């Protein structure tokens, strides 16, 4: 799936409390891309990810998935499309505390009235190293394991694209490294497109295209650093 944003802007509030969270951002996300976006706190990173994934609506601008205008769809059509083609990974995991890992992972399918594919669940659990943890509740898991469960939940609907908003932000450096290794495999072995927000330059370095955002303005970083000498 190709995702194209044209001049997306998001303005919150009005008058003196007006905030331009996103300022005419254009971006093409091609199948198989691994894109990183870095930027200071409050620069518009989460806003951009929410807009690109159709979780929120822009004040102005266009967003297309395979040339289909997302905001010309009804709310219902748009959320159905989002549920099937996009997986979202949050910094805070957002697992439901009373459900087991397995139940959390399968939740998006239940919401979409789809049957679980046991073979795919097993394959995912293996890839993510959580096969032995599926009957555990979130509080019985380490942070890194919880985030891996959340990644499995994002992948269970077989989406084309994974959006991750600071997925290692709540993890120590070792678990963060493991989570990134897994996202690398999700890109390489499963062929998923990945768009990741991060503060970690090591993480950003894994991407094939790196962007930065400052005050709502997105800019691509040079693909390579050139020496002036
Ligand atoms: P980041 O993820 O880079 O830290 P955000 O995208 O969350 O930044 O926020 C960008 C700007 O928009 C900030 O100034 C933030 O305060 C503002 N903002 C975000 N969400 C809202 C909202 N729901 N209402 C008003 N302002 C918001
Ligand atoms: Mg944020």
pLDDT band with cut points at 50, 70 and 90 for residue 228? low
d(CA 122, CA 136): 16
Atom of ligand 1 nearest to the CA of 166: 2
- Residue whose Cα lies nearest atom 23 of ligand 1: it is 12
- Closest ligand by atom to 21 CA: 1
Q: Which of 10, 12, 37 to mutate to test the pocket of ligand 1 (most atoms within 8 A of CB)?
A: 12
Q: Residue range 108-123: average pLDDT?
A: 93
pLDDT digits (tens, 9 = 90+) for 8-19: 999 999 999 999
| The pLDDT value given to residue 129 | 95
CB 65 within 8 A of CB 3: yes
Q: Which ligand is nearest to the CA of 9?
A: 1
Distance 218 CA to ligand 2 centre (A): 15
Q: Is residue 171 within 8 Å of 177, Cβ to Cβ?
A: no
Q: Looking at 108-112, 121-125, 225-229, which range is the least confident one?
A: 225-229
What is the rounded distance in angstroms from the CA atom of residue 223 to the CA atom of residue 229? 18
**What mean pLDDT do residues 113-140 have?**
96
Q: What is the pLDDT of residue 227?
A: 47
Task: Write down the pTM of the prediction.
Answer: 0.93
Give me the percent of the chain exceeding a pLDDT of 70: 97
Mean pLDDT lowest among 83-97, 99-113, 181-195, 197-211: 197-211
Provide the 10 A C-beta neighbour count for residue 217: 15
């Amino acid at each position: 799936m190709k995702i194209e944003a044209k001049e997306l802007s998001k303005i919150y509030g009005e008058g003196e409390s007006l905030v331009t969270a996103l300022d005419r951002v254009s971006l093409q996300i091609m199948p198989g891309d691994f894109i990183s976006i870095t930027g200071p706190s409050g620069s518009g990173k989460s806003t951009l990810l929410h807009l690109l994934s159709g979780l929120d609506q822009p004040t102005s601008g266009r967003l297309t998935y395979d040339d289909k205008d997302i905001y010309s769809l009804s709310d219902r059509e748009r959320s159905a499309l989002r549920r099937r083609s996009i997986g979202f990974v949050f910094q805070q995991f957002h697992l439901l505390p009373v459900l087991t890992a397995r139940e959390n992972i399968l939740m998006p399918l239940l919401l979409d009235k789809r049957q679980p594919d046991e073979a795919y669940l097993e394959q995912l659990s293996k890839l993510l190293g959580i096969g032995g943890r599926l009957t555990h509740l979130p509080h019985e898991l380490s942070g890194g394991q919880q985030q891996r469960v959340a990644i499995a939940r994002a992948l269970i609907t077989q989406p084309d694209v994974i959006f991750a908003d600071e997925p290692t932000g709540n993890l120590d450096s070792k678990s963060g490294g493991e989570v990134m290794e897994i996202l690398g495999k999700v890109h390489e072995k499963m062929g998923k497109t990945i768009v990741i927000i991060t503060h970690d330059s090591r993480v950003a370095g894994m991407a094939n295209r790196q962007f930065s955002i400052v005050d709502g303005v997105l800019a691509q970083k040079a693909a390579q650093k050139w020496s002036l000498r």
